[in-house]
Amino acid sequence: MGRAPCCDKANVKKGPWAPEEDATLKAYIEEHGTGGNWIALPQKIGLKRCGKSCRLRWLNYLRPNIKHGGFSDEEDRIICSLYVSIGSRWSIIAAQLPGRTDNDIKNYWNTRLKKKLLGKQRKDQIYRRKGDLLTKKARSPSEIPSSIVVSGNEYTNNSQDPYMPEVPVMPPMPYTNQDPCFVSDHTSLRKLLIKLGGKFADDGSVNQSINMVSHFPSENTLTNLQASSQNDENRFIACSTPASSSSMQLNSQYNILPIQEGQIGTLPSAFEEMYYSTNTQQKLDGSEFLYGDMYEINTSGSNSVITCGDSIDWGEMSSLISTTTTNDVMNLSNFRRPLRQGVSIQDRAYDDINSEFVDMKKL
């Protein structure tokens, strides 16, 4: 037996709202408020609408100070940052953008922002592919920063085929299993990758991509990054060299999709390209949406440093991401599901991981 409908479907009007309906609803709410009961409201004011429909109309359209369209660059940045950090929690993202509704942001992301970012990625990728055909053979392994090349393990580049991508692995970040925020980032990235590159989701390459891309700052590393960036005029993110690349894999404690050996080298082309560029100190084309428009990889001692340009400033991005991937993200993530008594954040993280894993398997 299914769930009882929230209203009498046969007697409610559907479709676009008429100006008179808008006026009626707006006038009533402005004078009396919603009364805490959306279901009863339409009957009260004589509207043949479902309560849910009234609520949506008010929240997304009639409410005062609603802004429509005309998203600024700053808003774009915030949306991208938060999407990377927390995924499609549109209501939370909307809360950071005054006057914007979750529906508006969701539509904007789905119809424009995502395409804009992917389109740019693709364009750059095609452009660079052509260039690579000419330059690939000239590039020697010694040109690859030693801090980035992970030698002596399964992530070494494919030496059998000179045309395979070289060293498709990012310098892993220090990872601690005790850091639930990292897990949160990891799962967000997993979702992001699947959403953006969904067609690769079932060939194992997403795992690799996650392994690759998930070297974004975790809570601890971001704290370090912020500290280090304060000592540098340039805003940057430092990627520490790993003790072991396998430490990045969330496979033992959290039982999350182990990365299998032998799959490296079959990365989705987009991410392959992204990483490929990393190694050659070019822009990480296609991943600008994670960092900003302009940045490059430099090396310093045992660290790799991503320096941002001025179009989108990593300082801003990192501050956004760092503040949202640390405790705030946990708080934001808990916004919908506040911690119940006796449930620790760690327990929640475990629960989230398990549910994410289940969701992944469904895909």
Partner DNA sequence: AAACCACCCAACCGCTTCGAC
Partner DNA sequence: AGTCGAAGCGGTTGGGTGGTT
Residues within the interface to DNA (CB under 7 A): 3-4, 6, 9, 13-17, 34, 36-40, 49-53, 55-57, 60-61, 68-69, 88-92, 102-104, 106-108, 110-112, 115, 335-338
CA gap 37, 315 in Å, rounded = 44
Q: How far is the CB of 86 from DNA (least distance, A)?
A: 8
**In terms of CB distance, is 49 or 283 closer to DNA?**
49
**In terms of CB distance, is 103 or 247 closer to DNA?**
103
Paired residues of 93 in beta bridges: none
Q: What is the DSSP letter of 62?
A: I
Q: Are 292 and 313 in contact (CB under 8 A)?
A: yes
Closest C-alpha among 207, 142, 153 to residue 360: 207
**In terms of CB distance, is 153 or 346 closer to DNA?**
346
User: How many angstroms separate the most distant Cα atoms in the chain?
Assistant: 76
Q: Which residue has the tokens 């399964």?
A: 154
Q: How far is the CB of 355 from DNA (least distance, A)?
A: 8
Closest C-alpha among 187, 213, 189, 209 to residue 200: 209
Q: How far is the CB of 310 from DNA (least distance, A)?
A: 26
Q: How far is the CB of 53 from DNA (least distance, A)?
A: 3
Q: How far is the CB of 77 from DNA (least distance, A)?
A: 18
Paired residues of 308 in beta bridges: 295
**In terms of CB distance, is 71 or 182 closer to DNA?**
71
Tell me which H or E stretch contains 237.
strand 236-239
Q: What is the DSSP letter of 60?
A: I
